[in-house]
Amino acid sequence: MHFLRRSDAPALLLADGAQRLWDFFRTPQGDLPAWLTPQLQAVYLAHWQQSLATACHYYSASPLAPPRDDDQGIHQLQLPDALLHTAVPTHILWGQQDKALLPELLNGLEQWVPHLSLTYAPDASHWLVHERPDLVIRQLHQILSQSLPKRELSSLDSTSQNTDFTLDY
């Protein structure tokens, strides 16, 4: 995260055809995953070229950053409770093979998100939406079916026929 806060991070990440970014996707064997097709790579690259600087600005503007030996300021950071608390029911899908977002980030989260539920995907990583689209779709459908009024749910079911995925699982 500290790298993403650097002013030169977007340029460095996009250099050499975004090689540094593609490296985040690589398997332990050094290969790009099968789901990352050339067509999807082109979509990612186009989005990165348009918006990577904005994403990096988000990280650099945030007062939240992992502590470093020379900077322990995060431990003195005081944020108002109202800023951290949400009463909105929140469901997290967590890829347990994620190398960027470690499971320790969940510790104590229920203090700030009292209506929290979790689904763990032991075989998925940071790219869970690509690795386990079946799980993502199923979880979204389940959550929406529990929270939407029946008339909106029937609308959702009818429009699902016009999508590139099925909801009949």
Which tokens sit at 27?
């398997």
Whether residue 59 has pLDDT greater than 70: yes
On whether residue 57 sits in a domain, the answer given is yes
Whether residue 155 has pLDDT greater than 70: no
> Lowest mean pLDDT: which of 21-30, 33-42, 75-84?
75-84
On whether residue 169 sits in a domain, the answer given is no
Using alpha carbons only, what angle is made at residue 147 by residues 144 and 149, rounded to the nearest 5 degrees?
A: 100
Q: State whether 57 and 85 are in the same domain.
A: no
On whether residue 105 sits in a domain, the answer given is yes
Q: State whether 61 and 47 are in the same domain.
A: yes
- How far, in Å, CA of 130 to CA of 99, rounded? 16
Q: State whether 28 and 85 are in the same domain.
A: no
Which tokens sit at 21?
């970014």
Strand segments (E) across 26-115: 90-95
Q: State whether 84 and 156 are in the same domain.
A: yes
Q: State whether 65 and 9 are in the same domain.
A: yes
User: What's the total number of domains in the chain?
Assistant: 2
Provide the domain limits for residue 106: 78-162
Strand segments (E) across the chain: 90-95, 116-121
Q: State whether 122 and 47 are in the same domain.
A: no
Whether residue 166 has pLDDT greater than 70: no
Q: Helices 133-147 & 150-159, crossing angle to 10 degrees? A: 150
- How far, in Å, CA of 59 to CA of 68, rounded? 16
Whether residue 75 has pLDDT greater than 80: no
Q: State whether 88 and 136 are in the same domain.
A: yes
Residue 169 binned pLDDT confidence (cut-offs 50, 70, 90):
very low
Return the higher-pLDDT residue of 60 and 65.
60
pTM: 0.74
Which tokens sit at 52?
């990577």
Domain at 142, CATH number: 3.40.50.1820
Q: State whether 82 and 158 are in the same domain.
A: yes
On whether residue 34 sits in a domain, the answer given is yes
On whether residue 168 sits in a domain, the answer given is no
Whether residue 167 has pLDDT greater than 50: no
Whether residue 160 has pLDDT greater than 70: no
In the numeric block, the tokens 């431990």 are attached to 75
Residue 68 binned pLDDT confidence (cut-offs 50, 70, 90):
confident
Residue 103 binned pLDDT confidence (cut-offs 50, 70, 90):
confident
Distances from the Cα of 50 to the Cαs of 26, 46, 56, 60, in angstroms?
23, 6, 12, 18
On whether residue 35 sits in a domain, the answer given is yes
Q: State whether 57 and 121 are in the same domain.
A: no
Q: State whether 93 and 144 are in the same domain.
A: yes
